[in-house]
Structure 1
Amino acid sequence: MKRILLCLQLLWLCGCGAAGGVDVIVTNPSSYARTLESVEIEWAKLGERGITADRVIVEDEQRNQIPSQVIFDKNGVAQRLLFQASVEASAKSRYKIKEGIADSYEPKVYGRYVPERLDDYAWENNLTAYRIYGPRLSDPKTQGVDVWVKNTEKLIINEWFARNDYHHNYGEGMDCYKVGNTLGGGALAIVQESQLLLSGNYLQQECVANGPLRTEAEFIYAPVAVDGRNVAIKRRIWLDANSRFSFQEYELTGFEGEIEVAAGVVMHDVKDITQQGNWLALTEPASDSSDAERDGDILLGVILQGAEKQSRFQTLSSPNQQPQHALLLRKAKAGEKILMLNGSAWSHAGVAGGAEWAEQVKQAADKLNNPLQVKIK
C-alpha cells in the first residue's frame, strides 16, 4: 500500500511539474473576438514549475505548437513568456506551456540600430514600420516617429535601407511621411506654457528583444530644461506581431510634484480627425510626396493610458512656429511609467478610410483598458 501511495504521489508531482506542463486559461472580457493578441506570463510562475527558458513550448487546444518568445532582462535572466492568443467574444481559450524544443518560426517583427543612416533606429512587424532619429542626424532634432507605409507582410527594413531609396515606391510601400521638428506619427513630450518641449534625437539606444513575436528597444534622451529643472527622459518602445500599434513607455525624473505631458501627432493637411476619451485618430494625405493622390492617405492613431479623466484634446504648436499637433494631455509624477500607443495604416494596404481606422483605434484603446485575463493552473 505504501508503494502505491508513493507512486501516486510521484505521478501527481510529475503532472504538476515540467513533464505535465502548465495549463493556461485566457478569458476574453470583450463583446468581440480577440485574434492573435499578445499575452504574457511572469517567468517566476513557470520557473517554479520546473520549466526552463531554453526548453519551453506553447500548445493550443488542439495540441499544435504555436510561436512563443521568452523575454529576458539585460543580464540574460528570463522575465516573461510571450505568446499570442485568439479568443472568441466573451469566451475562453486554453493553452499548455511545457518542456520541449521550440519549432523554428519565421519572425514577424524586427528592429535595429542603423548606423549607416546617421544612427536611425527602425522597427517593424508584418503590418507597419517606423523609425526614430539618432545623435548623428543634425535635422530634424526630435523624438518624433517617422512612419513607413507598406502593403506586404514581409520585413523590409534591411532591404529598404540597403537600397537607400525608400522615398520611392517599388511596389511594397515607401516613406512618404514628413516628421520635421515635431512629434511626427506619435510620441510624447513635456508641455510648458502651452508649448511642446521637444527632447531632440536619442543619445543612447539598446535593442533588448528581437522576435519572433516582439521587438523592443530602450532609449535615453538629453535632459529637458523645465522651469530651471533638468528633466531626464527614458523611453522604451516595443512592437508585437500582427498589431498596428507600437507601445511606448516613458519615465521622467528630476522634478518634484507633477509635470504636464502630451501624447500626439503632428497635423499636416488633415482630412478627418476623431477623439474620444484617451484616444485620437486622424487621416491625412501622404505628407512627404510629390504626388499625394497617387501615394494615398496615411492614417494615424494615439492612445494615452490612464488619461480618461485627465486628458484634454488640444492642438498645440511646438517651438519656432512648427505645425500644430493633435494631442492628449495629462499630468505625470517623477518616476511614473507613462504608457502610450502609436499606430498607423495606409489607404493602399487594407484600411479604407478614416471611419474604419477610427474604429480600429477605438478598439485598440478598449483592449488596453480591458486586457485579456490570464490564469495558470
Structure 2
Amino acid sequence: MILSFKRIVSLFGIVVLFSSFFYKNISNKITIKNSLDFERNELVSIRFKDYKCFSNSKNHESLLIKDKNGKQLVTQLVDNNLDGIPDELLFQAAVPANSEVTYTVITTSKSIQKRPLDSITTFARFVPERIDDFAWENDKVAFRTYGPEAQRLTEAGRTDGTLSSGIDLWLKRVPYSIIDSWYFKNVKSPGYYHIDHGEGYDPYHVGSSRGTGGTGIWENDSLYVSKNYVKSRIIARGPLRTIFELDYAPWSKYGVNETKRISLDLGTNFSKFESKISSTSSIPNFTLGITLHEKKGISALNVQKGIYRYWEPIDDSFVGEGIVIDPKVVKKALNYQSKTPDQSQILIVAAPENNSLIYYIGFSWLKSGQIQSVQDWDLLLEKQSKIIQNPLLVTIK
C-alpha cells in the first residue's frame, strides 16, 4: 500500500502526540539539607511512591538530575522487590556543612540518550571460578564471603574449601573495580590476590572468626554461628549502589533462619547490612563480631554511640575495622579474649527489632591513602554514626 503525503503527515502527528503523552516534560526542584557540621557526599534516594509527581510516571528511565550549574549527574534506578517496576532513583549529592543545596529533576523525550555514565562504580557477583565466593566492592573497599561448595569441600576433608560465614576484607588502593581482575589472575596464578601487585591485596584472615561483621549467638561464653551462605541473589548492581541478598541454612539449636540484605554505596567505607531473622524459639543474644586476630591491635568500644573499632597491624601497615549500629538496639559489648584460634573478638550483643537488625561494617587501610592514622579512622566512624542518626532531609517541589 502506498501512503499519500497527507496520510504520512497525519501518522507523524499521531506519533508526536503519543510521544508527548508518554514523555511529558517534568521539572521539579529537590532541596537537600545537611544539619551536620561537616560536608556530606552521599546518595540521595527519590522513592517514587512518596511523591505524587513521580508515583504515576510511566517513564522513569527518562528522569535526569542536574546540579545548580546545570551539570547532569550519574543516576541509578533501583527495583528493590524485583517486580520489574523501579522503586527509586538514586543520585549522589554534595552538601556543605550546615547547608542546603538544590538539584533539578527533569524528564524529556531525550533523557535516556543523555544519561551520563562513569567508569567508577560499585560491583558485586557470585564467583564460581573461586569455588563459590560472593564478592562486592566500591571505589574504596572490597569484601567477600563464602558459599556452600566451599563448605562441602571442607566438610569432605579437602584443604581447598572454606568453612566460614565471617566477612573477609580485601585491601584495595585504587578506585576502579578489582574483583574480576584479581580472580581472573588468581586462576592463572593461584594466590595472586594474596600478594600486593600495586592495587592492593587480601592479607586478612577470617577462619572460624566473624571477620568484620559476621553474626552469631552468644551464650554461656560461647559463640554459635551459621555455616556458609546457601543462596545469593543480586537486587541491583552499580553504578551508585549495589544490593544483594545471602540466605543461610537454619543454624543453632534455635533454628535460626537468616537472610542478609547487603548494600554498598559509591564513596563510602561502610557496607550496610540488614539481617532478617526468624527462629523456632526465642534467640537470647544475637551478636555481631570483629576478629582480634593475634590480639596485637587496639580495641575501642563505645556503647553510647554504637561505635566498635579495632586498629591492628597487618604486614607492614595498619588496618582499621569497625561496626556502627544504632546504640538503642545494643544490649552489651565485650572485648572477648580466648586462647582458641580465631575466637578472640569484639562481640556486640544486640536486640533485633521486628526480626531485623541493621548495622554498618567498614574498614580503611593505611596504604589506601584514605586515612593517615587511627585518629582519622575514628573520625570516619564518628561521622558514619552521625550520618545514620541524621539523614539528609530531602524536599521536592
TM-score of the pair, normalised by structure 1: 0.87
Q: Is contact 1:126–1:154 with CA below 8 Å preserved after alignment?
A: yes
Matched, 1:245 2:270: yes
2:28 corresponds to: 22
- Whichever residue aligns with residue 276 of structure 2, its letter is E
Matches within 5 A, 1:97-116: 97-99=105-107, 100-101=111-112, 102-116=115-129
Q: Is contact 1:140–1:181 with CA below 8 Å preserved after alignment?
A: no
Q: Identity over the aligned pairs, expressed in percent?
A: 27
Higher Cα Rg, which structure: 2
Matched, 1:300 2:333: no
Q: Is contact 1:195–1:319 with CA below 8 Å preserved after alignment?
A: no
- Whichever residue aligns with residue 27 of structure 1, its letter is K
Q: Which moved more, 1:363-372 or 1:134-143?
A: 134-143
- Tell me how far apart the structure 2 counterparts of residues 90 and 161 of structure 1 sit (CA, whole Å): 43
Q: Is contact 2:291–2:342 with CA below 8 Å preserved after alignment?
A: no
Q: Aligned-pair RMSD on alpha carbons?
A: 2.1
- Tell me how far apart the structure 2 counterparts of residues 315 and 103 of structure 1 sit (CA, whole Å): 47
- Tell me how far apart the structure 2 counterparts of residues 40 and 336 of structure 1 sit (CA, whole Å): 25
**Shift in Å, 1:49:** 5.9
**Shift in Å, 1:187:** 2.3
Q: 2:334 aligns with which of 314, 321, 333?
A: 314
Q: 1:42 aligns with which of 32, 35, 47?
A: 47
2:202 corresponds to: 175
TM-score of the pair, normalised by structure 2: 0.83
- Tell me how far apart the structure 1 counterparts of residues 120 and 366 of structure 2 sit (CA, whole Å): 25
Matches within 5 A, 1:159-308: 159-164=181-186, 165-226=192-253, 229-255=254-280, 259-268=284-293, 269-276=295-302, 277=304, 278-286=306-314, 292-293=315-316, 296-305=317-326, 307-308=327-328
Q: Is contact 1:195–1:318 with CA below 8 Å preserved after alignment?
A: no
- Tell me how far apart the structure 2 counterparts of residues 258 and 167 of structure 1 sit (CA, whole Å): 38
- Tell me how far apart the structure 2 counterparts of residues 318 and 78 of structure 1 sit (CA, whole Å): 48
Q: Gapped runs of 5+ residues in structure 1?
A: 1-13, 287-291
Q: Which moved more, 1:75-84 or 1:320-329?
A: 320-329
DSSP 3-state at the match of 1:181: coil
**Shift in Å, 1:317:** 6.8
- Tell me how far apart the structure 1 counterparts of residues 89 and 273 of structure 2 sit (CA, whole Å): 20
- The 1:222/1:169 distance shift into structure 2, 3 A limit, reads same
- Whichever residue aligns with residue 95 of structure 1, its letter is Y
- Tell me how far apart the structure 1 counterparts of residues 339 and 299 of structure 2 sit (CA, whole Å): 23
DSSP 3-state at the match of 1:66: coil
- Whichever residue aligns with residue 204 of structure 1, its letter is K
1:360 corresponds to: 380
- The 1:190/1:22 distance shift into structure 2, 3 A limit, reads farther
Q: Which moved more, 1:336-345 or 1:258-267?
A: 258-267
Q: 1:88 aligns with which of 59, 76, 96?
A: 96
- Whichever residue aligns with residue 367 of structure 2, its letter is H
Matched, 1:374 2:394: yes
Q: Is contact 2:30–2:395 with CA below 8 Å preserved after alignment?
A: yes
Q: Which moved more, 1:317-326 or 1:232-241?
A: 317-326
Total equivalences in the alignment: 350
2:140 corresponds to: 127
Q: Which moved more, 1:43-52 or 1:131-140?
A: 43-52
- The 1:81/1:270 distance shift into structure 2, 3 A limit, reads farther
DSSP 3-state at the match of 2:182: helix
- The structure in which a higher percent of residues are helix is 2
2:366 corresponds to: 347
Q: Is contact 1:223–1:230 with CA below 8 Å preserved after alignment?
A: yes
- The 1:77/1:92 distance shift into structure 2, 3 A limit, reads same
Once the two structures are superposed, residues 290-324 of structure 1 have per-residue CA deviations (whole angstroms, 9 ceiling, x without a partner) of xx12xx1121011123x346342213479976421
Q: Is contact 1:281–1:302 with CA below 8 Å preserved after alignment?
A: yes
- Tell me how far apart the structure 2 counterparts of residues 59 and 50 of structure 1 sit (CA, whole Å): 19
**Shift in Å, 1:179:** 0.4
- Tell me how far apart the structure 2 counterparts of residues 188 and 240 of structure 1 sit (CA, whole Å): 22
**Shift in Å, 1:203:** 0.1
**Shift in Å, 1:244:** 0.5
- Whichever residue aligns with residue 290 of structure 2, its letter is V
- Tell me how far apart the structure 1 counterparts of residues 337 and 75 of structure 2 sit (CA, whole Å): 43
**Shift in Å, 1:28:** 0.4
